[in-house]
Chain A
Amino acid sequence: MLAFVRFFFIAFLFATVLYIALWFSFRMRRRRLILMDWKTDHSDRKLKTFLAEETARYDRIRHLSLIAVLYVLPFVTVTVIIYLTNFH
């Protein structure tokens, strides 16, 4: 039982560190892209509101996709491996 708890704790910690690092680095890149987008296509709108709106939109998408890739996908993979190794 202890090995099981330790495994999931370490995996959770690892995923969380990756989540934080990737969240910030993707956000930085996205802000730059939004700014470029504003310069080329949306310069008629106020920069501050445009930036805030677009950032919030992409924050949500980034949050969901990172949760899927870093938490859900590894969990499903481990479950599938356990099934295939032991019960198939």
Chain B
Amino acid sequence: MRYVKWFIIAIFWLLVAAFLHYTLPQTDIARITDTYEKRVDPGENSWFWAQADVGTDGTVPTRDVFFIQTRRENGDIMVYRNEDTGWGWPPYFKFDTSNLQAEASDMRSTADNPRWVAIRHYGWRNEFLTVFPNAVSLREVEDPNEFIVPWVSIIVLVLLAALFWAIWARWKRFWARRVDPALTEAGDRVAIGSSRLRDKFRK
């Protein structure tokens, strides 16, 4: 039974970690090789696509999505989608998709004469589900190996840990003060009742 308990706890924390890893911003430094626009029909993978641009008709099943193709210094390829998150989840409140695409197109460069761009994004790339990370903002950098401190993630994780700790401490206190005494009392009563019952039948 103990293994089942730990298994469930491990699954829970794994899901929390995966959720945070998907949602929190990350920054890659890469060279933009091309930008394009493709029609997308989200199906099984629709969880990993945002909605239609804010203000446009969101009920139509298919739409065009902007993409940004990049190559990192070590040769790895990464393709980003560029979609509005709008007023929905995750709360990046991104409405400037078309402007971002214009910036990305302007920052294109070749391997011979590279321009390095720090691409802030959230999400995962998964080839099996056709899932792409969503680019949130772009900024030109000098050095492709520049270390970028993930301030937003640090702040969000610290706040979440504080919130979790606050709830956990209160929960523990509540359990110790209210539930445990009640359970002990109930147990005592059951014991008294059963001994009384036993006495009755003994006679």
- Chain A residues near B (Cβ < 8 Å): 1, 3-4, 6-7, 78, 81-82, 85-88
- Chain B residues near A (Cβ < 8 Å): 54-55, 86-88, 91-96, 99, 136-137
Q: Which residue of B lies closest to A86 (CB)?
A: B96
How far, in angstroms, from A81 to B91 measured CA to CA in the complex?
Answer: 9
Q: Which residue of B lies closest to A88 (CB)?
A: B137
How far, in angstroms, from A87 to B100 measured CA to CA in the complex?
Answer: 10
What are 17 A-B interface contacts by the 8 Å CB criterion?
Answer: A1-B55, A3-B54, A3-B86, A4-B54, A7-B87, A78-B91, A81-B91, A81-B93, A85-B94, A85-B95, A85-B96, A85-B136, A86-B93, A86-B96, A86-B99, A87-B96, A88-B137
Q: Are A3 and B137 in contact (CB under 8 A)?
A: no
- Give the Cβ gap from A19 to chain B, nearest Cβ, in Å: 17
Chain A residues, Cβ within 8 Å of B136? 85
How far, in angstroms, from A65 to B94 measured CA to CA in the complex?
Answer: 30
Q: Are B87 and A85 in contact (CB under 8 A)?
A: no
How far, in angstroms, from A41 to B54 measured CA to CA in the complex?
Answer: 60
How far, in angstroms, from A6 to B87 measured CA to CA in the complex?
Answer: 9
How far, in angstroms, from A81 to B96 measured CA to CA in the complex?
Answer: 13
Most buried by A among B54, B92, B93, B137: B93
Q: Which residue of A lies closest to B120 (CB)?
A: A85
Q: Are B55 and A85 in contact (CB under 8 A)?
A: no
Chain A residues, Cβ within 8 Å of B86? 3
